[in-house]
Amino acid sequence: MPPPQDERPPRAGRRFVPGPAALVPILAVVLAFLAGSVLILLTGFATVGHLDLLLPVTAYLALLQGAGITTDPAQATNGLVNTVVQAAPLVLGGLSVGLAFKAGLFNIGAQGQFLMGALAAAGTGAAVAGWPGPLAILAAILAGCIAGAAWGFIPGALKAFTGAHEVVTTIMLNTIAASVVGWLVTGPLLATGFSFDRTGDLGNATLPILFGTRNLHLGVLASVLAVPVIWFLLWRLTLGFEIRTVGANPSAARYAGMRPAFLIVFTMSLAGLLAGLAGSMEILGITHFMNASYGTSVGFDSITVALLGRAHPVGIVLAALLFGALRAGAGLMQIKTHIPVEIVDVIQAIVLLFIAADVIVRFVFRVRTGHGGLAELQTVTKSYGEGAVR
């Protein structure tokens, strides 16, 4: 007799909300905050000279307040907007890394793809600054997407046709991207009339700010739209089924008549596009130009976001919002408690540590089930040099 309808476990990925798979990531975050409070205690002791046991609570409350979790409407709006703006590029970056995970690829190259996207958007934006607004914006975004996609295509093609491991090639391409930025910004894309090396003004290619806020730019919309698009691709299209199959079992994908080589190139290109899109949005919406030593950690933070979100689009949004909130609230925390903003980087790193070493989390919280096993980590730790994909 078949069990009643409601008892049947739903298809994985079909539901839009994460299930028990979220357990380990959530507990990892809890542990990271506990570890962070120890650091806050020690920092407080080092600066003030005595141990203030309430300091972690005060600091975290200030952090929350800065991130918009407060009753003051003005402060709340401001904080929430900051959280969202900080989270937006992490969503796209997280989707980039997460999508690659689904295909069994570890895209460490989100950083380079982000930089190339930002550079292309900055250069193109400056070149089309006089075009009508929508056209200029579209052209700049398109250039950013293409540049990012190209920076993903290269390691994808190298992997598919020569077997070169994407971890190695994307790390190298990250370095190359940083150098390309330095060269183009001081050379072909250098704008005159500024006291330092930078690209030209964006003019009409600048993204509009929404709802009269200080910094909620239109680019945030791209992050909001990308989430259902990637979800739809992965779970509704046959192409997504192929991507997931290649990621879960490449041999079975070949047996099923799929083309792993094509899928790897496609997925890496799309992953690059997402990271490139994130880079364009940062330039067109926030910094408005690129300088020779453009610094960002979005590409690397995206890896943490993807792992914490377990490569699921919704999980990635939640993880990105968490890290966005940390960044948005860190300033107020420093002002109120003199705990340096860098503590949030430490917390973020500890989260990654606990995700990677999930055995610790399972031990501390007595998690017994195997359901929380992180398949993405197998992609991360998979041995190199498996040979070319036939």
Partner 1 sequence: MVDVAPALEMRGITKRYPGVLANDRISLDVRPGEIHALLGENGAGKSTLMNILYGLAAPDEGEILLDGTPVTINGPSDAIARGISMVHQHFMLVPVLSVADNILLGKETMANPIFLDRAEAHRRIVELGKRFGFEIDPEAKVESLSVGWQQRVEILKALYREARILVLDEPTAVLTPQETEEIFAVLRRLAAEGHSIIFISHKLYEVLAIADRITVIRRGKVVGTRIPAQTDEDDLAELMVGREVQLTVDRGESHPAGTVLEVDGLRVNDDRGREAVRGVTFAVQGGEILGIAGVAGNGQDELVEALTGLRKPTGGRVTLAGQDVTNQRTRQMNEAGLRFVPGDRHRFGLVLGFPVDDNLVLTSYYRPPFARGLLRDEDAIDVAARRSIAEFDIRTPSEHVPASTLSGGNQQKLIVAREFGGELKLLVLDQPTRGLDVGSIEFIHRQTIARRDAGAAVLLVSAELDEVLELSDRIAVMYRGEIVAIRDGRTADKEEIGLLMATGNRDAAVATAGSPG
- CA 85 – CA 241 distance, rounded (Å): 32
Residue 367: CA count within 13 A, CB half-sphere? 21
Residue 242 CB, nearest approach to partner 1 (Å): 8
In terms of residues, how long is the chain? 390
Residue 212, by phi and psi: left (phi above 0), alpha (psi -120 to 50) or beta?
A: left
Is the CB of 34 or the CB of 237 nearer to partner 1?
Answer: 237
Question: In angstroms, what is the minimal distance from the CB of 235 to partner 1?
Answer: 8
Q: Are 149 and 112 in contact (CB under 8 A)?
A: no
Residues numbered 228-247 forming contacts with partner 1, rule: CB under 8 A: 235-241, 244-245
Could you tell me the smallest distance in angstroms from the CB atom of residue 11 to partner 1?
Answer: 5
Determine contact, residues 200/184, Cβ cutoff 8 Å: no
Instruction: Give the C-alpha separation, 37 to 347, whole Å.
Output: 9
**Helix 260-282 and helix 298-308: axis angle, to 10°?**
120
For position 336 contacting partner 1 by CB under 8 A, the verdict is: no
Is there binding between residue 11 and partner 1 (CB under 8 A)?
A: yes
* End-to-end CA, the chain: 44
Using CB under 8 A, pick the residue from 6, 14, 46, 73 that binds partner 1: 14
Among 252, 349, 357, 359, binds partner 1 (CB under 8 A): 252
Selected binder of partner 1 within 256, 349, 357, 388 (CB under 8 A): 256
Stretch that binds partner 1, among 8-16, 66-74, 84-92, 262-270 (CB under 8 A): 8-16
Which member of 175, 179, 249, 297 binds partner 1 (CB under 8 A)?
A: 249
> Of 259 and 336, which has the nearer Cβ to partner 1?
259
Q: Which residues contact 266 (CB under 8 A, 6 or more apart)?
A: 156, 239, 243
Residue 259 in contact with partner 1, rule: CB under 8 A: yes
Can you tell me whether residue 192 is helix, strand or coil?
Answer: coil
When binding is defined by CB under 8 A, the residue of 248, 335, 349, 359 that contacts partner 1 is 248
Residue among 12, 42, 224, 357 that touches partner 1 (CB under 8 A): 12
Kindly determine how many residues on this chain lie close enough to bind partner 1 according to the rule CB under 8 A: 28
220-236 and 73-102 helices, crossing angle to 10°: 40
| Cα–Cα distance measured from residue 203 to residue 47, given in angstroms and rounded to the nearest whole number | 46
Residue from 172, 375, 377, 380 binding partner 1 (CB under 8 A):
375
The binding site for partner 1 (CB under 8 A) comprises: 2-3, 8-12, 14, 235-241, 244-245, 248-249, 251-252, 254-259, 375
